[in-house]
Chain A
Protein backbone atom coordinates (compact mmCIF):
# COMPACT_ATOMS: atom_id res chain seq x y z
CA UNK A 1 0.00 0.00 0.00
CA UNK A 2 1.22 3.46 -0.87
CA UNK A 3 2.51 5.74 1.87
CA UNK A 4 0.58 8.89 2.75
CA UNK A 5 1.69 12.20 4.22
CA UNK A 6 -0.63 14.45 6.20
CA UNK A 7 -0.05 17.57 8.27
CA UNK A 8 -0.03 16.70 11.99
CA UNK A 9 -2.62 19.30 12.95
CA UNK A 10 -5.02 21.91 11.60
CA UNK A 11 -7.47 24.40 13.01
CA UNK A 12 -10.79 25.40 11.53
CA UNK A 13 -13.45 27.88 12.61
CA UNK A 14 -16.87 26.47 13.31
CA UNK A 15 -19.16 26.81 10.30
CA UNK A 16 -16.31 27.17 7.86
CA UNK A 17 -15.08 24.53 5.44
CA UNK A 18 -12.27 22.30 6.66
CA UNK A 19 -9.89 21.23 3.91
CA UNK A 20 -7.61 18.37 4.92
CA UNK A 21 -4.79 17.55 2.48
CA UNK A 22 -3.09 14.21 1.89
CA UNK A 23 -0.12 13.41 -0.30
CA UNK A 24 0.17 9.92 -1.79
CA UNK A 25 2.70 10.36 -4.59
CA UNK A 26 3.45 6.63 -4.89
CA UNK A 27 -0.17 5.57 -5.36
CA UNK A 28 -0.64 2.89 -7.98
CA UNK A 29 -3.40 2.61 -10.52
CA UNK A 30 -5.61 0.19 -8.63
CA UNK A 31 -5.31 1.82 -5.21
CA UNK A 32 -8.14 3.75 -3.63
CA UNK A 33 -7.95 6.68 -1.25
CA UNK A 34 -9.90 6.13 1.98
CA UNK A 35 -10.62 8.61 4.75
CA UNK A 36 -11.47 7.65 8.31
CA UNK A 37 -11.65 9.72 11.45
CA UNK A 38 -11.31 8.98 15.15
CA UNK A 39 -13.08 11.11 17.68
CA UNK A 40 -11.25 11.05 21.01
CA UNK A 41 -10.45 7.35 21.58
CA UNK A 42 -13.66 6.13 19.95
CA UNK A 43 -13.47 3.55 17.18
CA UNK A 44 -12.41 4.89 13.79
CA UNK A 45 -15.27 5.95 11.57
CA UNK A 46 -15.36 5.60 7.80
CA UNK A 47 -15.94 8.86 5.95
CA UNK A 48 -15.47 8.40 2.22
CA UNK A 49 -13.32 6.77 -0.43
CA UNK A 50 -12.52 7.28 -4.10
CA UNK A 51 -10.38 6.10 -6.99
CA UNK A 52 -9.97 9.02 -9.36
CA UNK A 53 -13.25 10.88 -9.59
CA UNK A 54 -14.34 13.34 -6.97
CA UNK A 55 -16.79 11.88 -4.49
CA UNK A 56 -19.39 13.39 -2.19
CA UNK A 57 -21.58 11.92 0.50
CA UNK A 58 -23.55 13.26 3.42
CA UNK A 59 -20.42 13.67 5.51
CA UNK A 60 -17.80 15.08 3.18
CA UNK A 61 -16.36 15.58 -0.28
CA UNK A 62 -13.19 14.00 -1.60
CA UNK A 63 -11.21 15.79 -4.28
CA UNK A 64 -8.47 13.73 -5.96
CA UNK A 65 -6.00 15.47 -8.26
CA UNK A 66 -5.83 14.36 -11.85
CA UNK A 67 -2.43 12.70 -11.36
CA UNK A 68 -3.84 11.04 -8.19
CA UNK A 69 -0.77 12.02 -6.19
CA UNK A 70 -2.75 13.99 -3.66
CA UNK A 71 -6.25 14.46 -2.37
CA UNK A 72 -8.26 16.77 -0.14
CA UNK A 73 -11.05 15.88 2.22
CA UNK A 74 -13.55 18.70 2.57
CA UNK A 75 -15.96 19.06 5.48
CA UNK A 76 -18.17 21.82 4.09
CA UNK A 77 -19.47 23.28 7.34
CA UNK A 78 -17.33 22.09 10.21
CA UNK A 79 -18.93 21.76 13.64
CA UNK A 80 -17.34 21.28 17.06
CA UNK A 81 -18.24 17.59 16.78
CA UNK A 82 -15.94 17.27 13.77
CA UNK A 83 -12.93 17.73 16.06
CA UNK A 84 -11.06 14.46 15.54
CA UNK A 85 -7.99 12.82 14.04
CA UNK A 86 -8.47 12.31 10.30
CA UNK A 87 -6.66 9.47 8.56
CA UNK A 88 -5.93 9.23 4.85
CA UNK A 89 -5.30 5.61 3.84
CA UNK A 90 -4.35 4.30 0.42
CA UNK A 91 -5.00 0.67 -0.35
CA UNK A 92 -6.04 -1.71 -3.04
CA UNK A 93 -9.60 -2.85 -3.49
CA UNK A 94 -10.68 -6.44 -3.37
CA UNK A 95 -8.70 -9.56 -2.67
CA UNK A 96 -8.13 -11.18 0.65
CA UNK A 97 -6.29 -8.31 2.29
CA UNK A 98 -8.57 -6.40 4.56
CA UNK A 99 -6.35 -4.61 6.99
CA UNK A 100 -6.24 -0.85 7.18
CA UNK A 101 -2.84 0.72 7.83
CA UNK A 102 -3.35 3.83 9.96
CA UNK A 103 -0.75 6.57 10.07
CA UNK A 104 -0.65 9.42 12.56
CA UNK A 105 -3.31 11.40 10.69
CA UNK A 106 -4.24 15.06 11.02
CA UNK A 107 -5.65 16.31 14.27
CA UNK A 108 -8.40 18.74 13.30
CA UNK A 109 -9.53 21.20 15.95
CA UNK A 110 -12.74 23.03 15.19
CA UNK A 111 -12.94 26.20 17.24
CA UNK A 112 -16.02 28.29 18.06
Chain B
Protein backbone atom coordinates (compact mmCIF):
# COMPACT_ATOMS: atom_id res chain seq x y z
CA UNK B 1 0.00 0.00 0.00
CA UNK B 2 1.43 3.42 -0.89
CA UNK B 3 2.44 5.61 2.02
CA UNK B 4 3.85 8.99 2.86
CA UNK B 5 7.41 8.88 4.15
CA UNK B 6 9.29 11.48 6.17
CA UNK B 7 12.93 12.00 7.01
CA UNK B 8 14.53 12.27 9.42
CA UNK B 9 12.44 10.62 12.11
CA UNK B 10 14.13 12.77 14.75
CA UNK B 11 16.05 16.01 14.30
CA UNK B 12 17.90 17.80 17.08
CA UNK B 13 19.11 21.32 16.42
CA UNK B 14 20.37 24.38 18.21
CA UNK B 15 18.21 27.47 18.52
CA UNK B 16 18.77 29.80 15.57
CA UNK B 17 19.78 27.05 13.18
CA UNK B 18 17.98 26.24 9.96
CA UNK B 19 16.31 22.87 9.53
CA UNK B 20 14.78 21.18 6.54
CA UNK B 21 12.23 18.46 7.04
CA UNK B 22 11.63 16.16 4.12
CA UNK B 23 8.59 14.30 2.91
CA UNK B 24 7.85 12.02 0.00
CA UNK B 25 4.10 12.15 -0.68
CA UNK B 26 2.16 9.38 -2.38
CA UNK B 27 3.15 9.46 -6.03
CA UNK B 28 -0.15 10.29 -7.72
CA UNK B 29 -1.24 12.83 -5.12
CA UNK B 30 -1.35 16.49 -6.06
CA UNK B 31 -2.06 18.23 -2.76
CA UNK B 32 0.42 18.41 0.06
CA UNK B 33 0.20 19.61 3.64
CA UNK B 34 2.28 20.20 6.72
CA UNK B 35 0.87 19.95 10.24
CA UNK B 36 2.58 20.11 13.59
CA UNK B 37 1.79 18.80 17.05
CA UNK B 38 3.46 20.21 20.12
CA UNK B 39 3.79 17.55 22.80
CA UNK B 40 0.45 16.98 24.53
CA UNK B 41 -1.41 19.43 22.31
CA UNK B 42 -3.66 19.31 19.25
CA UNK B 43 -2.56 18.66 15.70
CA UNK B 44 -2.33 22.09 14.02
CA UNK B 45 -2.46 22.89 10.32
CA UNK B 46 0.50 24.83 8.93
CA UNK B 47 0.27 25.00 5.16
CA UNK B 48 -1.20 23.41 2.06
CA UNK B 49 0.52 23.32 -1.32
CA UNK B 50 -0.69 22.67 -4.83
CA UNK B 51 0.68 23.26 -8.28
CA UNK B 52 3.95 24.57 -6.90
CA UNK B 53 2.45 27.24 -4.75
CA UNK B 54 0.97 27.69 -1.32
CA UNK B 55 -2.82 27.44 -1.44
CA UNK B 56 -3.49 28.11 2.22
CA UNK B 57 -1.50 28.79 5.37
CA UNK B 58 -2.24 29.28 9.04
CA UNK B 59 -1.11 32.06 11.37
CA UNK B 60 1.63 29.76 12.64
CA UNK B 61 3.22 29.67 9.19
CA UNK B 62 5.11 32.96 9.40
CA UNK B 63 8.16 34.21 7.50
CA UNK B 64 10.40 31.73 9.29
CA UNK B 65 8.71 28.88 7.44
CA UNK B 66 8.85 27.98 3.78
CA UNK B 67 7.85 25.00 1.70
CA UNK B 68 9.18 23.71 -1.56
CA UNK B 69 8.75 20.86 -3.98
CA UNK B 70 12.29 20.77 -5.34
CA UNK B 71 11.70 17.81 -7.63
CA UNK B 72 8.93 15.46 -8.65
CA UNK B 73 8.91 13.49 -5.46
CA UNK B 74 10.07 15.50 -2.42
CA UNK B 75 8.14 18.10 -0.45
CA UNK B 76 10.12 20.05 2.13
CA UNK B 77 9.45 22.30 5.09
CA UNK B 78 12.21 24.72 6.01
CA UNK B 79 12.43 26.59 9.27
CA UNK B 80 14.95 29.39 8.81
CA UNK B 81 15.92 30.20 12.37
CA UNK B 82 14.53 27.72 14.85
CA UNK B 83 13.14 28.74 18.22
CA UNK B 84 12.59 26.65 21.31
CA UNK B 85 8.84 26.75 20.68
CA UNK B 86 9.30 25.09 17.28
CA UNK B 87 9.96 21.83 19.09
CA UNK B 88 7.14 19.54 17.95
CA UNK B 89 6.19 16.60 15.76
CA UNK B 90 5.84 17.70 12.17
CA UNK B 91 3.53 15.67 9.98
CA UNK B 92 3.40 15.76 6.21
CA UNK B 93 0.22 14.68 4.43
CA UNK B 94 -0.94 14.32 0.87
CA UNK B 95 -4.25 13.86 -0.87
CA UNK B 96 -5.41 13.05 -4.35
CA UNK B 97 -7.85 15.94 -4.51
CA UNK B 98 -8.32 19.10 -2.51
CA UNK B 99 -10.98 19.99 -0.02
CA UNK B 100 -12.28 16.54 0.50
CA UNK B 101 -11.03 13.00 0.21
CA UNK B 102 -8.82 11.48 2.78
CA UNK B 103 -5.45 12.91 3.64
CA UNK B 104 -2.67 10.40 4.10
CA UNK B 105 -0.26 11.32 6.86
CA UNK B 106 3.37 10.40 7.24
CA UNK B 107 4.90 9.06 10.47
CA UNK B 108 6.22 12.48 11.43
CA UNK B 109 9.55 14.10 12.24
CA UNK B 110 10.21 14.92 15.86
CA UNK B 111 12.05 18.26 15.97
CA UNK B 112 13.84 19.13 19.17
CA UNK B 113 15.29 22.65 19.46
CA UNK B 114 17.85 23.11 22.23
Q: Which residues of A contact B (CB under 8 A)?
A: 32, 34, 38, 41-46, 49, 87, 92-104
Contact = CB atoms under 8 A, between A and B. Distances in A.
B98 A98 contact: yes
B66 interface: no
Interface in B83-114: 89, 91, 93, 95, 98-100, 102-108
B44 interface: yes
B43 to A, nearest CB: 4
B31 to A, nearest CB: 6
Nearest to A45: B105
A44 B99 contact: no
Contact of A94 (B37, B42, B99, B102): B99
B100 to A, nearest CB: 4
Given A94-B100, A99-B33, A42 B108 contact: yes
Contacts of A100: 35, 43, 45, 103
B105 A43 contact: yes
Interface residues of B, number: 28
Nearest to B92: A43
Contacts of B35: 100, 102
Given A97-B56, A102-B35, 5 more contacts: A32-B100, A44-B103, A96-B99, A98-B50, A100-B103
B98 A95 contact: yes
A94 to B, nearest CB: 5
Nearest to A87: B43
